[in-house]
Amino acid sequence: MEQDKILIIDMGSTRNTYIAREIREMGVFTEIHHHDMTEDELSKITNIKGIILNGGENRVVDGVAIQASEALMKAGVPVLSVDHNGSAPWPEEVEARLEKLQAFIFGACKAQANWNMENFIAEQVSQIKAQVGDGKVLLALSGGVDSSVVAALLIKAIGKQLTCVHVNHGLLRKGEPEEVVHVFREEMGANLVYVDAVDRFLDKLAGVSDPEKKRMIIGAEFIRVFEDEAGKLEDVKFLAQGTIYPDIIESGTKTVKAVKSHHNVGGLPEDLEFDLVEPLKCYLRMK
């Protein structure tokens, strides 16, 4: 069963993730997107039941109040505008806010509380298959939660079309590279390439003390390592990453000042040779 979706549109709020979690706790799936979504981007999202334009303190950029794209306004679903263009902000009281959300989601939008992890996995697997087809995918497998979840989804969706690359850059915990290789190669049967790039990374980082510069160097070097590995394979078109929505927020958007550049976002070179596969890009972890 395909899950109903409510889109939260970032119109300058710092509470997008809080509202999204509250909606998901009601059993309805929610994604967070930018305010200038195109018609093409919107068309790729199925079963949209409603849109929340979530404004806030960052709703004015360069002296001009940001506006939702024409595509969003013509989506043909109920729209709730909050704290933007004269609309009232969210109630401070939790109960009052939840009542407002419930009235919109289940009343105006007629959404069903049909979100669960089983449905989420099935939908993501379907979307991966549709995007990738019979193509080959290279995954940056760090061993962390996000990239590991993406690896599991990709293995389920496309099996041996996926090649996982685990890079030992010298900044991992003791024994972690060996554990990643064991779990994914031996237990999950993944195509996994282990790359010992300790000297390569540490040479690049030598003498660099600024944390932001370090993140940028690590992100760019990761991509170069993957390009090297892809060159050893045939017809690899896609690069998969465990990017989640907070990574994008931390790296800065039109309405949010950058906190720090995540290597999946701020560290990507402009001449990237792959199409990105990011099944968790609009996802945020539950509490």
Q: What is the pLDDT of residues 54-102, one digit of tens each?
A: 998 888 888 888 899 999 999 999 999 999 888 899 998 999 999 999 9
Per-residue pLDDT at 22: 93
pTM for the model stands at: 0.69
Q: How far is residue 72's CA from residue 126's CA, in Å, rounded to a whole number?
A: 24
Q: How far is residue 174's CA from residue 178's CA, in Å, rounded to a whole number?
A: 9
Per-residue pLDDT at 75: 95
Closest CA to 256 of 264, 266, 267: 266
Low-confidence ranges of the chain (pLDDT < 50): 251-252, 257-267, 286-287
Q: How far is residue 136's CA from residue 128's CA, in Å, rounded to a whole number?
A: 12
Q: How far is residue 187's CA from residue 22's CA, in Å, rounded to a whole number?
A: 36
Q: At what angle do helices 117-132 and 145-158 cross, to 10 degrees?
A: 70
Per-residue pLDDT at 239: 86
Q: How far is residue 267's CA from residue 127's CA, in Å, rounded to a whole number?
A: 26
Q: Which residue do the tokens 């334009």 mark?
A: 53
Per-residue pLDDT at 224: 83
Two tokens at 227? 């390009």
Closest CA to 272 of 217, 199, 222: 222
Instruction: Please report the domains of the chain, with CATH numbers, ordered by start residue.
Output: 5-108 (3.40.50.880), 133-277 (3.40.50.620)
Find the radius of gyration of the CA atoms of the chain: 20
Residue positions counted in the chain: 287
Q: Which residues are paired to 29 by β-bridges?
A: 5
DSSP state of 133: T
Q: Which residue do the tokens 């970032």 mark?
A: 10
